[in-house]
Amino acid sequence: MTKNTSKVEEKFGNFSEWFDKVLLEAQIADDRYPVKGFTVYTGWGFSIAKRIVQMLEEELEEEDHQPMQFPVVIPEDAFEKEAEHIAGFSGEVFWITHAGENKLERRLVLRPTSETAIYPLFKIWIRSHADLPLRMHQTCNVYRYETRATRPLYRGREFLWNEAHTAHADYEDSENQVRNAVEIYSSVYDRLGLSYILLKRPDFDKFAGAVYSLAFDTWNPDGKVNQIGTVHELGDNFAKAFEVTYEDEAGEQRIAYTTCYGMGMGRTLAATISHHGDDHGLVLPPVVAPKQVVIIPIPYRGSVEAVGEYAREIRGRLREEGIRVVLDDDDRLRPGEKFYRWEMFGVPVRIEVGPKEVEERSVTLFRRDTFERVKADYESLVDVVRSLFDEIFQNLKDRSRKYLESEIAEAENLEQLKACMDERKIVKVNWCGDPDCAFRMKDEVVGEVRGTLWERHEGPTGPCIVCGGAAKEVAYVSRTY
Amino acid sequence: MTKNTSKVEEKFGNFSEWFDKVLLEAQIADDRYPVKGFTVYTGWGFSIAKRIVQMLEEELEEEDHQPMQFPVVIPEDAFEKEAEHIAGFSGEVFWITHAGENKLERRLVLRPTSETAIYPLFKIWIRSHADLPLRMHQTCNVYRYETRATRPLYRGREFLWNEAHTAHADYEDSENQVRNAVEIYSSVYDRLGLSYILLKRPDFDKFAGAVYSLAFDTWNPDGKVNQIGTVHELGDNFAKAFEVTYEDEAGEQRIAYTTCYGMGMGRTLAATISHHGDDHGLVLPPVVAPKQVVIIPIPYRGSVEAVGEYAREIRGRLREEGIRVVLDDDDRLRPGEKFYRWEMFGVPVRIEVGPKEVEERSVTLFRRDTFERVKADYESLVDVVRSLFDEIFQNLKDRSRKYLESEIAEAENLEQLKACMDERKIVKVNWCGDPDCAFRMKDEVVGEVRGTLWERHEGPTGPCIVCGGAAKEVAYVSRTY
């Protein structure tokens, strides 16, 4: 790939350019694919994405979700079974109409989400109460013909996610599943050091066909919020439409209750990049860094061989411990160029090895997050690296949370809300719950009502900031992707 | 899922029914998806497939292949750039023509393979000799509108594979890459205990646009061969069509040379099932078994608690060692029903725990592959389990290889070839190399010329068995999927 060593843009001052540049230079994604809205994940980026996928899949499987893979095509008749669902999605799906020279008898939809692919099989699999609960998950791409502006990772016409679908004997058990899903997603975000707000979406903005929708909203350096995951209680809406029933212990036929949830891998990767990165490029949490340590030899005349040998010894020691390490001994580049390159890639720890380190049998370690250097002797190498990983992770996590806290503001009237929106804040307002008041916030101050805290009721402190009527809830308002 | 405990069919006597039954009962795949040729991978099967994918991906990345993900859609104009390629694939692709209510300006192909998606980006990425070699891989589904009969895992209109694409400065380096690919694929098949023949396909049956194609053909219990992987030398055919050039060290513009290779995950899983399975169901190599050990308590009156406690102790000990273990303590099923169930799932080792084992602090271990029982004391549990894994793997591998050897026959004339084909053999014949003679074998005795051994020339022992002319090669002929 061609090298580009010009200065990086400012993350907070000029997010859009910063992000585009990091995507290309850190080999995250390439937006030059010749179909609009479709992006290529390149090597470093897809390595990170795969690690996030693996973390999530392990947690899902630990919680008894079976890994499956459903086809990408959905027949038109199945797609149209749940009325609200089809109303919500039909305007934005891709249609396959021909194969070879033939026109297909039945058109096929490229899945925009998989409920209508999965329920016909749930109907076959679920016979008795002993078959419940049933939990499956799949990591796949979904397709939506977005008419809004697309941006790699944030909004594409193809996007990578993991979706889970579950069926239960009663509403209570499906509600427990919603809580379990929230725990799993929270755990993954926490392990990535991402801060977020968990909101119950307003009714007018829930998933098409759901009883209610929860969403994980996270901050973005440009002041918009980024929805990185959603959890939906579907009640018996889909089960009724697809006739998913079971025989209970008394021999009665009953309707099942279902849930679904999805984590956007592009958006979770985007959040990981945007929360932790800085003006030098990526800063990766060690858990998902494809390389956790880079060793850079800094030889002087006469020390090339000894430095090289010591660098390889360090690499061997770290590898033994299962630490993902790379030795950059490409002699066409100067150490400074290598520093630039590996800082851009966000490798958490850099080890610099020169003649002095050889002589002392020491190592000089550089922290990507704080730019601090520490020295250690060879014997304590592994311990020091591991504790640096912990410290880096903790620092990234704290920084992300503090930034989120600093982003949240409160507004008591539309004028204040407008001022906050101009400052790109996430704003708490008293709201009567009427969709019309929410739509007015959007029309007049470009603020979207994202919802209210889930299972943590916040009492309003005054009347609705739009209509002045009695407020029922404290709503979170922001710009959004 | 509903239980089904009827007798399994015979693998060698009645392969087709055996396979269909194993797919459903061992929860590998479900063919009842309402679009013809599209199959659902269910929990146990997709867990195995994921492990095979991971083995391959690790080996590819160890050999410097970057993981990437390209879009599923290819614009019509890019798809049609390489003349032979489009001629080979255009009859069997799915077309996306509409999105929402709109007709698309440019039709999009659902990728049947990704060369034409990838080369436009290779053209951008490759500028100088320093950018070469470039190696990428992706695990994805591809789409072909098969008109032949489909069968889950063997032939579908959607199939899961891993494909790699590489670019090189000269033909010699691309040839080295072909060898590297063969090594990687061989290693994965070897680790799965699969025997195969590596053949150079005849020119009339090579990949559309390739200089030559290699293929890994493996045996199947019904006497057809199953192609589980292919490796293609593309020379400069694709690079020319897509203008993939680079500046060499002397500053001259040169054309790149490329290769590609793909491993079918469905077919590799099918081979793993079909080689090792028996009339009781799956028999899994420990490396890909989602559960490697199942513990089944066999309590008698008064011993329920002690047996349960000891079973949990054994589970804990094995888990500590990273062995994938499940304790089946569901008290609604009798031990015999559990034996049946876990034999069907192919779990390599079963541990039976009764009052006697508790008293002796011993374990009784059952080998899924040979049905042998061995006893061991608790202290040696982990060592015994690990050595059983090795023995089971070695036994499966040997059985597969011996079966392949027993399947290979020789024929000296068309009549003998016909007799061999009726016995469902893989048959070595002297062949002049003329495609017409190959076509006659197919027309007259349903035998397809699969190719000749790669880089291991076998001298013909007589004239061409069809035309009687001078034979150039020893060709392998068989029925095929």
For chain B, which residues make up each domain, given as ranges? 15-276, 291-390, 408-480
Strand, helix or coil for residue A335: helix
> A95, B97: Cβ pair inside 8 Å?
yes
Size of chain B in residues: 481
> B67, A78: Cβ pair inside 8 Å?
no
Nearest to B40 among A68, A92, A128 (CB): A68
Q: Where are the alpha helices (DSSP H) in B113-246?
A: 115-125, 171-191, 237-241
Looking at the structure, give the CATH architecture of the domain made up of residues A291-388: 3-Layer(aba) Sandwich (3.40)
Task: Select from B340, B52, B78 the least CA-distant residue to B189.
Answer: B52
| Between B374 and B9, residue with greater pLDDT | B374
pLDDT at B9: 61
Among the residue ranges B25-39, B77-91, B100-114, B459-473, the one predicted with the least confidence is B77-91
- Whether the Cβ atoms of residue B237 and residue B477 lie closer than 8 Å to each other: no
Task: Select from B476, B480, B423 the least CA-distant residue to B450.
Answer: B476
Nearest to A158 among B49, B72, B90 (CB): B72
Quick one: CA dihedral A39, A42, A44, A50, positive or negative? Answer: positive
pLDDT at A9: 61
How many interface pairs between A and B have CB atoms less than 8 angstroms apart?
Answer: 153
> B33, A71: Cβ pair inside 8 Å?
yes
Q: Which residues of B touch A246 (CB under 8 A)?
A: none
For residue B147, give both structure tokens.
Answer: 């008109």
Q: Which residues of A touch B98 (CB under 8 A)?
A: 94-95, 97
Q: Which CATH number fits domain A15-276: 3.30.930.10, 1.10.150.120, 3.40.50.12500, 1.40.20.10?
A: 3.30.930.10
Cα→Cα distances A46→A23, A294, B67, B137, Å: 11, 19, 6, 11
Stretches where chain A sits below pLDDT 50 are 1-6, 8
CB of A394 less than 8 A from some CB of B: no
| Structure confidence by residue, pLDDT tens digits, B320-371 | 999 999 999 988 899 999 999 999 999 999 999 999 999 999 999 999 999 9
pLDDT at B457: 86
Number of H helices, E strands in chain A: 14, 23
Looking at the structure, give the CATH architecture of the domain made up of residues A408-480: 2-Layer Sandwich (3.30)
Q: How far apart, in whole angstroms, are the C-alpha atoms of residue A360 and residue A349?
A: 20
CB of B333 less than 8 A from some CB of A: no
Q: How far apart, in whole angstroms, are the C-alpha atoms of residue A40 and residue A58?
A: 25
Nearest to B35 among A41, A108, A127 (CB): A108
For residue A475, give both structure tokens.
Answer: 């709503």
% of chain B exceeding 90 in pLDDT: 91
Is the full-model pTM beyond 0.80?
yes
pLDDT > 80? residue B186:
yes
pLDDT at B147: 85
Task: Select from A209, A241, A46 the least CA-distant residue to A113.
Answer: A209
pLDDT > 70? residue B48:
yes
For residue A262, give both structure tokens.
Answer: 């999805």
Nearest to A99 among B47, B70, B94 (CB): B94
- Mean pLDDT score of chain B: 95
CB of B50 less than 8 A from some CB of A: yes
Q: What strand order describes the sheet that includes A362-367?
A: A325-327, A293-297, A349-353, A362-367, A373-377
- DSSP-assigned letters across all residues of A184-252: HHHHHHHHTT---EEEEPPGGGS-TT-SEEEEEEEE-TTSEEEEEEEEEEEETHHHHHTT-EEE-TTS-
> B67, A50: Cβ pair inside 8 Å?
yes
CB interface of A with B, residues 132-171, below 8 Å: 136, 141, 143, 145, 158, 160
What count of other Cβ atoms lies within 10 Å of the Cβ of residue A364? Answer: 18
Strand, helix or coil for residue A282: coil
CATH 3.40.470.10 fits B291-390, yes or no: no
| Residues whose CB is less than 8 angstroms from the CB of residue A164 and which lie 6 or more positions away in sequence, other chains included | A60, A65, A135, A136, A137, A181, A260, A261, A262
| Structure confidence by residue, pLDDT tens digits, B423-439 | 999 999 999 999 999 99
Give the torsion through C-alpha atoms of B61, B65, B71, B72, to 10 deg. -80
pLDDT at B84: 78
| Residues whose CB is less than 8 angstroms from the CB of residue A255 and which lie 6 or more positions away in sequence, other chains included | A236, A239, A240, A244, A245
Instruction: Name the most confidently modeled range: A280-284, B148-152, B206-210.
Output: A280-284
pLDDT > 90? residue B146:
no
Report the pLDDT averaged over residues B284-294.
98
CB of B361 less than 8 A from some CB of A: no
pLDDT at B6: 47
Strand, helix or coil for residue B479: strand
> B68, A32: Cβ pair inside 8 Å?
no
Report the pLDDT averaged over residues B172-187.
98
For residue B79, what is the nearest residue in chain A, using CA coordinates? A34
Q: Where are the alpha helices (DSSP H) in A126-194?
A: 171-191
pLDDT at B4: 43
Q: How far apart, in whole angstroms, are the C-alpha atoms of residue B318 and residue B316?
A: 6
